[in-house]
Amino acid sequence: MAKRKALYIGLALLAVLIIAGVAIYSLVFITNTAQAVLLPQGGSVEVNSGSGFVAVTAQTTVGEKDVIRTGADGSASLILYESLFITLEPNTQVSVGDLTKENIQISQQQGSTWNKFTKLNGVTGYTISTPTSVAAVRGTEFGISDSRIIVAEGTVELDAAGQKLSVHGDEKADITARGATKNSMNKNDREYMISRLEIQMIQLKRMRAKILADHKLVVDKLLLGQKAQGQEYTMDELLSAADDNLVDLEQVKSSIPARTEWMDNAFELTLKIQEQKSHIARLKAQY
């Protein structure tokens, strides 16, 4: 009887250890990435999931075939796989198409969007169509409407009225029913680009903060012992300092012996933030 009781106690302890091990593994290694999340930024934002448009005032999950629209005073961010950031400007309507990571598809019926494609979490392709064009990208940042496209970085393969055109970083193409033509960016174009780059930089920081918050129990233990200007940093503070190149990001990465996907995503977002700040500074210096 005593042996059987001891066996039951041993099995119970083993079960607890297994459950604890799974929980720890989940906290450290597993990244829970939502397919598509809509974040209203203010004003009128509505979603139609098949039963008519409904006002959205807080973060919500959307799926394929959902239609999103903003009013004259509305704006919102659509975040796909924590990799693709789409800012919907006022009076914009988009439909969510294919959400496969190999080629996410968005249909933009009206208005303007600003798109930041980071290629994180296995997302490799993105196509956005308007009434006048189709833009296919493999990692870039750009703004698009039915009358123009402005590319901040990378290359966008544009198809307008059957005319194919490659639009590169710091280039603009005007779009008509007859096709697309590259034109030089003017001061208003550059100011528009700077403002959108700044907005997307905020989005990148928010996403990084979310990743760290999702794994807070692990992050709180990552006191890396790194110092910059005599200051010891935690993980969160360290990456924020890296945004301004106060610490060496590569040195921080190498100081962690066993990195995970979510850690690498936080590092990659930090690199994107650094690049964004540098790009903004370069554009401002051109005035």
The mean per-residue pLDDT over the stretch 92-114 comes to: 96
pLDDT at 252: 79
Q: What are φ and ψ of residue 133, in 5° steps?
A: -160, 170
187-191 CB contacts, 8 Å cutoff, 24+ apart: 187/287, 189/150, 190/283, 190/286, 190/287
Token pair recorded at residue 151: 């590319």
In terms of Cβ atoms closer than 10 Å to its own Cβ (0-12, 13-18, 19+), residue 274 is middle
Question: How many other CB atoms sit within 10 Å of the CB of residue 72?
Answer: 8
User: Whose CA is closest to 283, among 91, 153, 117?
Assistant: 153
Q: Which of 4-18, 121-135, 214-228, 270-284 has the lowest mean pLDDT?
A: 4-18
Section 103-114 average pLDDT: 96
Q: Which residue has the higher pLDDT, 221 or 249?
A: 249
Distances (CA, A) of 208 to 83, 87, 278: 11, 17, 18
Which residues lie below 8 Å from residue 95, measured CB to CB, with a gap of 6+?
A: 65, 66, 67, 68, 106, 107, 109
pLDDT for res 230: 54
pLDDT band at 121 (very low <50, low <70, confident <90, very high): confident
What is the structure's pLDDT at 21?
36
Is 61's pLDDT higher than 70? yes
pLDDT (tens digit, 9 = 90+) per residue, 70-102? Answer: 999 999 999 999 899 999 999 999 999 999 999
Contacts of 139 (CB under 8 A, 6+ apart): 117, 118, 119, 154
